[in-house]
């Protein structure tokens, strides 16, 4: 059996950033040549891109785990690690990206529309980049940041102008096959169509797309037959076409009650009330079919439907139908504001990346620090390296975390957690030690490298230190 997949769960992992390198330049007779450790490369992103040549999500059903490559670590002699490669995942036009709770993250319509599902981790700075006027020989480097991973759901909602709905075997696929160049499977048993078929119709100057959905039966909203599952494909269409079978052999059915039942199911599905509808009476090549059509036409017209009598097999009435549809489609398009052909979907950032918050977490009895920067800095820190830990303390200090903790009432020895509950770094707060470390010995300072500094020089160094954050920002983006 062919499987059609229009909903998949996808697990993406962006590449990790490469670690920065801590290295000292070595040359004969120059024992202290200065730091020359290069930066780690950026991890690759995982990006979804609409590609019109892709029509199903089947690939992702078969391999739902996708990972971009990691950034390479930096090396000595100022060699930067290579960036990881972005992983581009082509998806069909009309793919909707949801989180596991069902919230829509992005709606990808239009060739080239892009969504970054997982952002690659930033590479760690090497010790050469961390060197500054006051920290001439850092004996540490920053770690690369792990790439984002995400569990997302992809749902396909076919982008078609016209959707054909109706009972199984009413002739929906047959109609597509004669109105367009598409060649869907047609057969005389119900549920031939398991996948929506898509065709392109040209009527005069108007070109539009037409799709069918698997047949509906009474109780589809309760999951009978193939259920209403596939109606998501008609959500984007601007016209609904009821395809009614005038020659069904089932004694308990007739086109009008078929129409009522399908309408009831559409109502159950919801959200389609505003779509204009027309009625197609199919199979009028069969004599009984024509008689029945003549009989019910006034009733349908009295209900306000525009009615077309066609035969997909004898190919009658098709031109009128396709031009009428073109007219409705053109009208709908004119009423809709023009969308740009290509959109880049940018995800809103979850956290304010400028600041941080300090709250007392009663359950865990810790002061909790949350914020994009402090949380990233934690991940960038090699906790086995005292100097790196000291640098972290400096950074937190500079951001004002220390002050904020003080204001929040934290005292020496209190627990401080940086990060979310499930993934935080917890330590005992030692404000005097942090501040003291800052005052007593400047971290990364190698006294063999410098003579005592005059007051003016010290002032300059202090200014340089203050500018450090800005420097890093300029070179490497917000740190």
Ligand X SMILES: Nc1nc2c(ncn2[C@@H]2O[C@H](COP(=O)(O)OP(=O)(O)OP(=O)(O)O)[C@@H](O)[C@H]2O)c(=O)[nH]1
Q: Residues annotated as binding site for Mg(2+)?
A: 173, 193
Asked if 169 interacts with ligand X (CB under 6 A), we say yes
Range 186-205, binding Mg ion (CB under 5 A): 192-193
Site size toward ligand X, by CB under 6 A:
25
Of ligand X, Mg ion, none, which one does residue 467 interact with (CB within 5 to 8 Å by kind)?
none
Name the residue nearer to ligand X (CB basis): 16 or 248.
248
- For residues 134 to 173, the per-residue mask of contacts with Mg ion, x marking binding by CB under 5 A and - elsewhere, is ---------------------------------------x
**Among residues 22, 152, 159, 170, the one that binds ligand X under rule CB under 6 A:** 170
Of Mg ion, ligand X, none, which one does residue 258 interact with (CB within 5 to 8 Å by kind)?
none
Range 305-334, binding ligand X (CB under 6 A): 311-313
Cα–Cα distance list, 430 to 40, 244, 375, 380, 413 (Å): 31, 78, 19, 21, 6
CB of 153 to ligand X, least distance (A): 27
Of 54, 155, 158, 197, the residue nearest 112 (C-alpha): 54
- For residues 259 to 288, the per-residue mask of contacts with ligand X, x marking binding by CB under 6 A and - elsewhere, is -----------------------xx-xx--
Name the residue nearer to ligand X (CB basis): 123 or 215.
215
Sheet arrangement for strand 277-282: 198-203, 206-212, 162-165, 239-245, 277-282, 307-309
Of 289, 296, 230, the residue nearest 265 (C-alpha): 230
Of ligand X, Mg ion, none, which one does residue 168 interact with (CB within 5 to 8 Å by kind)?
ligand X
**Ordered DSSP codes for 98-159:** EETT--EEEEE-STT-EEEEEPPPPPPPPHHHH--SS-SS-S--PPPPPPPEEEEEEEE---
Of 298, 408, 413, 411, the residue nearest 357 (C-alpha): 408
Asked if 173 interacts with ligand X (CB under 6 A), we say yes
Asked if 190 interacts with ligand X (CB under 6 A), we say yes
Site size toward Mg ion, by CB under 5 A:
3
Of 163, 166, 130, 201, the residue nearest 385 (C-alpha): 130
What's the CA dihedral at 47, 51, 55, 56 to 10 degrees?
-10
Asked if 186 interacts with ligand X (CB under 6 A), we say yes
- Give the CB-side neighbour count of residue 195, counting CA atoms within 13 A: 18
The H or E element spanning position 331 is helix 318-335
CB of 66 to Mg ion, least distance (A): 33
CB of 377 to Mg ion, least distance (A): 58
Range 106-145, binding ligand X (CB under 6 A): none
Name the residue nearer to ligand X (CB basis): 193 or 380.
193
Pair 400, 357: CB distance under 8 Å:
no
Cα–Cα distance list, 91 to 47, 52, 88, 224 (Å): 10, 8, 10, 30
Question: Could you tell me which residues are annotated as the binding site?
Answer: 166-173, 191-195, 212-215, 282-285, 311-313
CB of 197 to ligand X, least distance (A): 8
The C-alpha atoms of residue 338 and residue 90 are separated, in whole angstroms, by: 24
CB of 187 to ligand X, least distance (A): 5
Of 202, 209, 106, the residue nearest 160 (C-alpha): 209
Q: Is 212 helix (H, G, I), strand (E, B) or coil?
A: strand
**Among residues 3, 52, 99, 191, the one that binds ligand X under rule CB under 6 A:** 191
Which one of 49-57, 77-85, 167-175, 227-235 is the stretch in contact with ligand X (CB under 6 A)?
167-175
CB of 216 to Mg ion, least distance (A): 11
CB of 329 to ligand X, least distance (A): 21
Asked if 214 interacts with ligand X (CB under 6 A), we say yes
Of 37, 16, 4, the residue nearest 387 (C-alpha): 37
Task: List residues binding ligand X (CB under 6 A).
Answer: 166, 168-174, 186-188, 190-193, 212, 214-215, 282-283, 285-286, 311-313
Task: List residues binding Mg ion (CB under 5 A).
Answer: 173, 192-193
């Amino acid at each position: 059996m062919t499987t059609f997949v229009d909903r998949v769960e996808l697990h993406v992992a962006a590449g990790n950033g490469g670690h920065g390198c801590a290295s000292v330049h070595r040359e004969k007779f120059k024992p202290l040549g200065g730091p020359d450790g290069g930066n780690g490369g950026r991890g690759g992103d995982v990006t979804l891109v609409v590609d019109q040549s892709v029509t199903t999500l089947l690939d992702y059903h078969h391999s739902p785990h996708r990972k971009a490559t990691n950034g390479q670590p930096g090396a000595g002699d100022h060699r930067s690690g290579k960036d990881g490669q972005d992983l581009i995942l082509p998806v069909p036009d009309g793919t909707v990206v949801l989180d596991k709770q069902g919230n829509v993250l992005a709606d990808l319509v239009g060739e080239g529309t892009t969504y970054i599902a997982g952002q690659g981790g930033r590479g760690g700075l090497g010790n050469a980049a961390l060197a500054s006027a006051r920290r001439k020989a850092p004996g540490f480097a920053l770690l690369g940041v792990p790439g984002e991973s995400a569990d997302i759901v992809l749902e396909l909602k076919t982008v078609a102008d016209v959707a054909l709905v109706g009972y199984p075997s009413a002739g929906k696929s047959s109609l597509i096959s004669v109105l367009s160049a598409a060649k869907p499977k047609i057969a005389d048993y119900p549920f031939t169509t398991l996948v929506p078929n898509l065709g392109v119709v040209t009527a005069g100057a108007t070109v539009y797309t037409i799709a069918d959905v698997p047949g509906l039966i009474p109780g589809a909203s309760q999951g009978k037959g193939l259920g209403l599952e596939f109606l998501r494909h008609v959500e984007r269409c601007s016209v609904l076409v009821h395809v009614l079978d005038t020659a069904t052999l089932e004694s308990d059915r007739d086109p009008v009650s078929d129409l009522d039942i399908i309408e009831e199911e559409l109502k159950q599905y919801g959200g389609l009330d505003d779509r204009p509808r027309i009625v197609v009476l199919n199979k009028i090549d069969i004599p009984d079919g024509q008689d029945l059509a003549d009989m019910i036409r006034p009733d349908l017209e009295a209900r306000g439907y525009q009615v077309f009598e066609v035969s997909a097999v004898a190919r009658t009435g098709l031109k009128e139908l396709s031009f009428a549809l073109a007219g409705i489609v053109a009208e709908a398009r004119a009423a809709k504001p023009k969308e740009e052909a290509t959109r880049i979907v940018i995800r809103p950032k979850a956290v304010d990346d400028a600041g941080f918050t300090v709250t007392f977490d009663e359950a865990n009895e810790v002061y909790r620090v949350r914020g994009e920067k402090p949380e990233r800095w934690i991940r960038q820190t090699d906790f086995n390296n005292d100097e790196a830990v000291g640098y972290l303390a400096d950074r937190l200090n500079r951001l004002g975390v220390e002050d904020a903790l003080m204001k929040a009432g934290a005292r020496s020895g209190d627990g401080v957690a940086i990060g979310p509950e499930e993934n935080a770094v917890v330590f005992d707060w030692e404000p005097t030690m942090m501040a003291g470390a800052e005052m007593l010995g400047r971290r990364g300072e190698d006294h063999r490298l410098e003579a005592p500094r005059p007051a003016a020089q010290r002032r300059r160094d202090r200014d340089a230190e203050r500018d450090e954050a800005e420097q890093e920002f300029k070179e490497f983006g917000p740190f």
